[in-house]
Every structure is written in C-alpha cells, then in structure tokens.
Amino acid sequence: MTLRVYNTLSRTKEVFEPVHPGKVGIYLCGPTVYDRAHIGHMVGPVIFDTIKRFLVHAGYDVTWVVNITDVDDKLIKRARERNVSMEEIARENTQDYLTNLKGLGVDQIDQMPRATESMGEIIRFTQALVDRGYAYAVEGDVFFDVSKAPEYGKLTNRTVDALQGEGGEAASKKHSSADFALWKSAKPGEPSWDSPWGPGRPGWHIECSAMSHHILGETFDIHGGGLDLVFPHHENEIAQSECCHGRPMARYWLHNGLLKRAAAGKVGGRAEREKKTADGESLTLEQIQQATAEKESRSAGAGGLAAMIERFGGEQIRFFLLRTHYRSTVVFSDEALTESSAALETFYRFFERYQRVTGQSFYDLPIPRTRTAGELAPGTDPLLLEVQRYRTGFLEKMDDDFNSGAAIGDLFELVRLLNKHVDKHQLEDAAQPDPTHVAALGTGARALRELAALLGLFLHPRPAAPATADAERPLVARLMELLIELRAAARQRKDFATADRIRDALGDLGITLEDRKGGTIWRQL
C-alpha cells in the first residue's frame, strides 16, 4: 500500500515521500482569533487531526503545528469596539477555539505557536529578506518585492500583476500594487513591537513563514489550509520562504474544501465581484469568496459552535465533516447533520450488542496503534477473512488521498457483517454461545475499533443523554413502554394470543420488538 496525496502545487496526486524518512512535519494555518470559532473553522483541524492519526498508524513520527494569529487589524478593531485590550480579545477567542477543538476530538496538535510570542523569528525573517534584496522598507513599513521572486504565482498559476487587495495608506508606499506587507508601522495607540524599522507589527503571511521555519525547518512535508488561503496567503508564504532559503518550503500543499450552507446563493456572481470595501477599494474574487464562506460558516454555527456541539454532539459533527472528501465543499444544514447523526446509531447499537454478548465494553478493546499491530491472522475463518477484506479496503481508501468519506463505507460494511455474525450464531440469545464465534466477534470488533480510531471516532463512550423529566420524553416512547409492559404481563400469564397480537400489530406499524436478556427493546424500521 502506498500513500498518495493530491498536491495543489502540481495539481496531481503524488506518492508521499517525506523529507526525512520516517518523520513528517505538518503545518496548518490556524485561526485569526478576533471572534468566536464557528463550524467552518473546524473543517481543517478535524481533517488534519485525522491525517495525523493515519500517518502515525502508518508508522511515521509526526509533528503537527497549528499557528494562532493573535495580532491583526481585525483584533485591533474588535478591541477598540469593546474597549478592552487586544490581548483580552485574543485570550477569549483562543480559549473558545481550544474548547471547540477538544469538543470535536481534535487532540493531536503538537505545537500552537502564537504570532505575538514569535516576534524574534518574524523580525529576523523579515530582515533576512531585506538583506537579500527581496524586500524594501518605506517609512517604517516593509514590503515584499514580488518582481524579485521569479517563481511567484506557481501555486495558483498567476501572473505577477495580480492585485493583493492591500489598500489604505500603505498602498501608496508600495513599488507595485502586487507587493505585500511584511511589517506594518504602528499608528498611535496600536499594539506594537520594536523592530529595525521602528515600532510596528507583522503582516499575516510572514508569521506563517517564520513560525513554520522555526519549528519544522526550511523544507517540511505537508502545508495545509482551507482553499480560501491558496491566494494570496499561501502564494505569499511560498515567495517569502523560498526566496529566503533558496529551497522548497513544503513538499505537499493540501487544501481542504470550505463549508457551505445548503441552498446558499452562488458565490462570485457579477454583483459579488463588483463589491467594494468601505474605502472604495475593489476586493479580489478570493477575498469575496473568503468573506462569503466565512459568512455562511458563521450563520451555520448560529448560537455559537459550543452550543452546536452541545446540541448535536462533538462526535456527530466530526463524523459529519469526515463523510465528505476533504477537498470537496462540505454542504451543511441542520437536516444533513441530523441525518448523519442518525447513521451513527448503527454503530452505537452494535456496541451495545457487543457488550451484551461478551459482557465487555467495546470502548475497553485495545486499539492497535500501527498497521502491523492491527493485522489479522484470519486463517480460514470466513468471518475474519471478510473482516480483513474490509480493513484492507478502508486503509486503501485512506491511502488514496485520505478518502475518509469512502473509507467510512467500509466501517458500515464491517458493522453489517458483525451484526450478521451475531444473528447467524444466535450469540445474544443462546444460553451458552459458541466461544469460537464469540472470539471471532471480538477480533472483528477490534478491527472496527482500530479503523474508527483512525478517524478519531468512538474513542470514548458517548456521554449519557441528560436525564429528561418523564413529562418531556416523547409520547411515543412512553406509549411504547406501556405496550411492552402489557405484552410482558400477557406472556407471564401465558396469554400468548394477546402477546402476539401486540407484536404483530406493532409490526404492521413498522415497529419491531426484540427480546433481550435485559428486557425488550423496540425499533422503528
């Protein structure tokens, strides 16, 4: 099995070969913390969290870095509006971001450098570009000279005259409109850091070049981000880093699709393209797309992401995001999320079944940490041969540019197979189920646990639903309990005619009853 990844730089799927054998460095552009996180912010982290899990399982020693931009025009503006310090805005929103990452099971990040804590590296990087003739200073501002970067535009197939959209006072200091700011001089009252060019703050692009270099080196393996960052952000990062070091910044550029609310208007229409900023400056198409994606994501997370996690569950949202291939647009709606959550019930039901058969929790099964450790020795056992087939299928799909959406299909197949095995050998009902079949079920369940863990799913028992007052429970649930009780009473007094009548009548309504060791459960088909 060979891992192949789609590289935006070459626009093809390439065989993955890390710079240093056995090691992988990943840099993902993180949030600008001027506001609360929304679900759109979580697409990248969930995907790269999964990518890291998959690479570790494949045997790599992985370092994953996500930066925090905690100094920026938007933060300064927000601080003014609320009459608090920029640090306070950054602190609140970083905390919110971290809480939401945790809620979605994103816990694989190794380092989260903050721009304000990386000023030394940022200033040194900027100075190096000035020294080498790639940047120039004008009255306290420093700009990157795009005309000096022969390969500029290679990520997005663009010509040098593409506008950066950077306007305001600084625009008049630039040699060319295509140049972009590395360092911005501070206006009175703005937060600032001392630099060789006077007090100021860094531009956004240079932060990522400096922080990724500091932690991962001159050339690292994977640089990730949302599709909205390809231009100008990533194009500019490449120009800065490659001009500074004279070698490629990252081998593979991976971009995740954005989240779009279902039935949202088209992006980039004529009216949108003609939009202008308040100071009359034209926006680039990318900026409009970015703003629109942001707006849609934001409205999709109405009430805050934390409220959404509370309502739907972190695992449900994570599962929903991973069902779409990471390069595609995630079309979001409450209905789609509800439907996707319902599909997860298939797994939870199986875990309950597994516990009834084996007396053990699915969540206590050990998780094989590597491919080799998880390999099965099926021999001639027909069940295990099938399990092995789905495990291989799952890993092959993930090897093909992390196609989690398709791989999830194999998880469903695996559960179907294991359920069939339980039914066929009556493992739940027999007084003394055949230990060989129970053992095979255990091996199959362990494979399911291994593969689901690669997606960061089913790692912990889901939190119990909050105890609901009886009066608030759906009427149907209460009526069903009554019918089940009446049927049990009928059976006890050997009135099988009544018991069967209840069962058959429910069957006509599409409701099945299943008698278990611990009582009867019902299901609507």
Residue numbers at the binding site for Zn ion (CB under 5 A) = 29, 208
CB of residue 237 to Zn ion, shortest distance in Å? 6
Collect all residues with Cβ–Cβ distance below 8 Å to 363 and sequence separation of at least 6: 351, 458, 459, 460, 461
The two three-digit tokens of residue 484, written as one number: 């089940």
CB of residue 225 to Zn ion, shortest distance in Å? 6
CB of residue 33 to Zn ion, shortest distance in Å? 14
Task: Report the distance separating Cα 80 and Cα 82, nearest Å.
Answer: 5
- Length of the chain measured in residues: 525
> H/E element holding 124?
helix 119-131
> H/E element holding 397?
helix 382-399
Assess contact for 46 and 106: CB atoms under 8 A: yes
Collect all residues with Cβ–Cβ distance below 8 Å to 27 and sequence separation of at least 6: 65, 66, 67, 208, 211, 212, 215, 216, 220, 222, 223, 224, 250
Q: Which is nearer to Zn ion, 205 or 421 (CB)?
A: 205
Q: Which is nearer to Zn ion, 45 or 313 (CB)?
A: 45
Assess contact for 417 and 441: CB atoms under 8 A: no
Q: What are phi and psi of 163, to 5 degrees?
A: -70, 145
Q: Which is nearer to Zn ion, 58 or 258 (CB)?
A: 258
CB of residue 403 to Zn ion, shortest distance in Å? 25
Q: Which is nearer to Zn ion, 225 or 368 (CB)?
A: 225
CB of residue 25 to Zn ion, shortest distance in Å? 15
Q: Which is nearer to Zn ion, 208 or 448 (CB)?
A: 208
CB of residue 73 to Zn ion, shortest distance in Å? 16
Q: Which is nearer to Zn ion, 29 or 407 (CB)?
A: 29
Q: What are phi and psi of 21, to 5 degrees?
A: -50, 135
Q: Which is nearer to Zn ion, 29 or 288 (CB)?
A: 29
CA distances from 518 to 352, 357, 515, 521 (A): 11, 12, 8, 9
CA distances from 192 to 88, 116, 195 (A): 16, 10, 9
CB of residue 205 to Zn ion, shortest distance in Å? 7
The Cα diameter of the chain in Å comes to 96
CB of residue 338 to Zn ion, shortest distance in Å? 34
Q: Which is nearer to Zn ion, 113 or 444 (CB)?
A: 113
Task: Report the distance separating Cα 389 and Cα 222, nearest Å.
Answer: 30
CB of residue 368 to Zn ion, shortest distance in Å? 35
DSSP 326-390: TTSPEEE-HHHHHHHHHHHHHHHHHHHHHHHHHSS-GGGSPPP-SHHHH----TT-HHHHHHHHH
Query: Which residue in 164, 234, 231, 178 sits closest to 206, CA to CA?
Result: 234
Helix 435-454 with 334-358: angle, nearest 10 deg: 150
Q: Which is nearer to Zn ion, 208 or 506 (CB)?
A: 208
Collect all residues with Cβ–Cβ distance below 8 Å to 450 and sequence separation of at least 6: 367, 368, 374, 391
CB of residue 204 to Zn ion, shortest distance in Å? 7
Q: Which is nearer to Zn ion, 208 or 238 (CB)?
A: 208
CB of residue 29 to Zn ion, shortest distance in Å? 3
Q: Which is nearer to Zn ion, 28 or 149 (CB)?
A: 28
User: From the DSSP assignment, how many helices (H) and strands (E) are in the chain?
Assistant: 17, 14
Helix 404-424 with 382-399: angle, nearest 10 deg: 170
